[in-house]
Amino acid sequence: MVPHLITALTGPINELEQRILESMPAVERWFRLEWMEHTPPFYCSVDIRNAGFKLAPVDTNLFPGGWHNLTPDMLPLGVQAAMAAIEKICPEAKNLLVIPENTRNSFYLANIAQLQRIFRGAGLNVRVGSVDPEIKKATAVELPGGETVTLEPVVRSKRRLGLKNFDPCTILLNNDLTAGAPGILEDLHEQYLLPPLHAGWSVRRKSRHFQSYEEVAKRFGKMLGIDSWLVNPLFNRCGELDFAREEGMECLRTNVDALLAKVRKKYKEYGINEKPFVIVKADYGSHGMGIMTVRDVKDLEEIRKLPKNRPPVVKGGKAITDVIIQEGVLTAERINDAVAEPVVYMMDRYVVGGFYRIHAERGVDENLNAPGASYVPLAFAESTRLPQPGQKPGASAPNRFYMYGVIGRLAMLAASYELEATDPEAETYE
């Protein structure tokens, strides 16, 4: 099912859909050639927003949670992709250690149970090793469905990380390291640690990601003969922000103003009668804390009204000093009256599924992954891999899902560029 698009101006997105479908052999070939040069991140999920006139990623998560939201139908694709990934990284693998977030939240642990299921299906012994200092012995947590996840304390030797009587070849991080990589994960040169530590939020910057994405989108747009703006959210960044001081705010005001002007110009070019807006958010961190929707530079004054000693924060308790100012992309998709945002899941180079994040109480220009967001996941009804050429643009769910898969892969490719550029161990040839 394609959720009902309420924006009047669905022409551009339907044209884009048609263009992408017509060019499918060129698109797939382009990705194959890119993956010859660049290694995909082990797995990732991408939040996408469809404005009807524009389709763009707004967030790329390299430690995707929410795997439990994928339907059982999609699992075999995940297993097959996991087989391909493992085969490339460590064919002799028998044991895989998953490192989760330090939480016992049962929704999150349902995600871990699903990851276990996927990698067991790929034929690995999978155990969950917690780096939470509070986990001192094997702790079974029962999930609402009756399943159990057992968290075990990790055991570090000089050169390896494992569990008691469990020596893994590969360590899969599902912990986004917002608070920094714990020392226990450092200097593991004998094992594969995936994704690498520099994919954690203590190193990663959203602005760096969207800089890579812009590069990817431009090349993709050129190949396809389209304006890359149709798939690329514009952005600025502002470093060394200090909400308490006038100088720190000036940088924000200037950048917000400049970006709003740029978006306004683009809207004019495409005849879009919507009010442009930008999203100001922390340049790091996986959740939506500290996110502001700004329609006018005057909105920034709201920040001043916050108590001086309580600046907007991000997960992990750090005050925001770096922000990304991102073009706001309306979400024009609806399921009944609720706003819907597609999320695409990938493993290795394959799109293995996705779902809609649906939220009845949020607006079209608000973030749907905000803290406490009680969104309802709605799994994609069909595969992203079976487009139906010849269908009327905008009318075929498989075609829409295929297009989401293309955008998701563009963001994954950008993450690959980003991780190469920020790899502390990269060799430089100068």
**Residues in the site for its own copies, rule: CB under 8 A?**
24-29, 32-33, 35-36, 72-73, 75-77, 79-81, 83-84, 86-87, 91-95, 117, 120-125, 350, 383-387, 389
Q: Which is nearer to its own copies, 25 or 183 (CB)?
A: 25
**Nearest approach, Cβ of 354 to its own copies (angstroms)?**
12
Q: Which is nearer to its own copies, 198 or 219 (CB)?
A: 219
**Nearest approach, Cβ of 75 to its own copies (angstroms)?**
6
Kind of pairing between the strands at 235-238 and 278-282: unpaired
DSSP state of 326: E
Bridge partners (DSSP) of residue 411 are none
Q: Which is nearer to its own copies, 5 or 93 (CB)?
A: 93
Name residue, tokens 């079209």.
Answer: 364
**Nearest approach, Cβ of 91 to its own copies (angstroms)?**
4
**Nearest approach, Cβ of 125 to its own copies (angstroms)?**
5
Calpha distance 430→420 (Å, rounded): 16
**Nearest approach, Cβ of 259 to its own copies (angstroms)?**
35
H or E element that contains 232: none
Peptide bond into 311 cis (omega under 30): no
Cβ–Cβ under 8 Å, residues 71 and 78: no
Bridge partners (DSSP) of residue 256 are none
**Nearest approach, Cβ of 92 to its own copies (angstroms)?**
7
Q: Which is nearer to its own copies, 81 or 325 (CB)?
A: 81
**Nearest Cα to Cα of residue 331 among 13, 1, 36, 87:** 13
Query: 426 is written with which tokens?
Result: 């990269």
Which phi and psi angles does 108 have, rounded to 5°? -60, -40
**Nearest Cα to Cα of residue 168 among 127, 200, 213, 228:** 127
Calpha distance 217→227 (Å, rounded): 9
Cβ–Cβ under 8 Å, residues 129 and 98: yes
Query: 102 is written with which tokens?
Result: 């330090």
Bridge partners (DSSP) of residue 342 are 356
Neighbours of 88 (CB within 10 A): 12
Q: Which is nearer to its own copies, 117 or 237 (CB)?
A: 117
What does R_g of the chain's alpha carbons equal in angstroms? 21
Q: Which is nearer to its own copies, 32 or 164 (CB)?
A: 32
**Nearest approach, Cβ of 389 to its own copies (angstroms)?**
7
**Nearest approach, Cβ of 79 to its own copies (angstroms)?**
4
Kind of pairing between the strands at 95-99 and 170-173: parallel
Calpha distance 288→411 (Å, rounded): 18
**Nearest approach, Cβ of 164 to its own copies (angstroms)?**
19
Cβ–Cβ under 8 Å, residues 195 and 204: no
Q: Which is nearer to its own copies, 79 or 238 (CB)?
A: 79
Q: Which is nearer to its own copies, 78 or 328 (CB)?
A: 78
**Nearest approach, Cβ of 399 to its own copies (angstroms)?**
12
Q: What's the N-to-C CA distance of the chain in angstroms? A: 52
Peptide bond into 195 cis (omega under 30): yes
